[in-house]
Amino acid sequence: MLAIIFVAGVITGAACTAGFIWKHFPPPGMPTGAQVIERVRADLRAEVHITADQEQQLTPILQQHAAELDVIRKETLTKVLASITEKNAAVEKVLTPEQRAEFEAHEKKRLHVFEKQELPGKAQQ
């Protein structure tokens, strides 16, 4: 009975982790900070009708914000991946060699969303 509860917990944890990752770290192609501020700038022009002078004043503010968002995204992604790695190591200790191989293949497919994310120490693709 405890084994069933444990397996249910692992499955639930994996599903919750996948949902969290999908919500907070969309698949490759997620806009960079620079792309986000360009969208904000366009929205300000179209909806708020900022002047050219206001846009010039806003540029350094938006650029700083974009840089901060990129740093936060990288730090958070690094922590999420470290947590997933720890969880996977713990799960693999319980699995048979055959199950480990299946689990590794499953995780590789599930975590493909991180392949193009920029991480500290990872070369850009």
Mean pLDDT, all residues of the chain: 80
Please report, rounded to a whole number, the percentage of residues in the chain having pLDDT higher than 70: 72
Q: Measured in whole angstroms, how far is the alpha carbon of residue 104 from the centre of its chain?
A: 20
d(CA 46, CA 38): 12
Does residue 11 carry a pLDDT above 90? no
Q: Is 117 helix (H, G, I), strand (E, B) or coil?
A: coil
Interval 87-104 mean pLDDT: 93
Interval 62-74 mean pLDDT: 90
- Taking Cα atoms as reference points, which of 89, 121, 123, 94 lies closest to residue 107? 89
Lowest mean pLDDT among 29-33, 44-48, 75-79, 92-96: 29-33
Interval 14-33 mean pLDDT: 61
pLDDT band at 110 (very low <50, low <70, confident <90, very high): confident
